[in-house]
């Protein structure tokens, strides 16, 4: 799919898929705030821009949230944080190279 942001086209079919994961997104209701979980796919464009596609709702089937279909641009630091939070050491090395031992 293609998405237009700030006068630039981001194409998921031409970009490198890095990882799929699920994450909650804040949803403010009338009386309560929830964090339904959605499928996220992290990409790197041919020009080096990282972006995440937010798509299908993957939460409980007895609650009906609509699927999403948009992208968010991410910085290199954002992507490092995502991969660290997911403890994806191999993906981190694949994208950014070897890291220092602690």
DSSP 21-66: EEEE--EE-SS-EE--EEEEEEEE-TTS-EEEEEEEE-S-TTS-PP
| Whole-number Å distance between alpha carbons of 88 and 85 | 8
Q: Is the dihedral of CA 67, 71, 76, 78 positive or negative?
A: negative
Per-residue confidence (pLDDT) for residue 31, from 0 to 100: 87
Per-residue confidence (pLDDT) for residue 59, from 0 to 100: 76
> Has residue 64 got a pLDDT over 90?
no
More confident position, 1 or 28? 1
Cβ 43 vs Cβ 21: under 8 Å: no
Per-residue confidence (pLDDT) for residue 32, from 0 to 100: 83
The chain-wide mean pLDDT, for the chain, equals 93
Q: What is the pTM for the complete model shown?
A: 0.88
DSSP secondary structure code for residue 86 in this structure:
T
Average confidence (pLDDT) over 73-92: 97
More confident position, 21 or 30? 21
> Has residue 37 got a pLDDT over 80?
yes
DSSP secondary structure code for residue 15 in this structure:
S
Average confidence (pLDDT) over 54-67: 83
């Amino acid at each position: 799919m293609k998405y237009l942001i700030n006068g630039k086209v981001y194409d998921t079919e031409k970009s490198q898929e890095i990882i799929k994961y699920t994450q909650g997104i804040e949803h403010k209701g009338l009386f309560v705030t929830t964090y339904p979980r959605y499928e996220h796919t992290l990409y790197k464009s041919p020009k080096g821009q990282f972006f995440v596609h937010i798509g299908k709702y993957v939460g409980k089937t007895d609650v009906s949230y609509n699927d999403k279909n948009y992208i968010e641009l991410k910085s290199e630091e954002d992507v490092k944080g995502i991969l660290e939070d997911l403890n994806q050491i191999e993906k981190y090395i694949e994208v950014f190279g070897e890291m220092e031992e602690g």
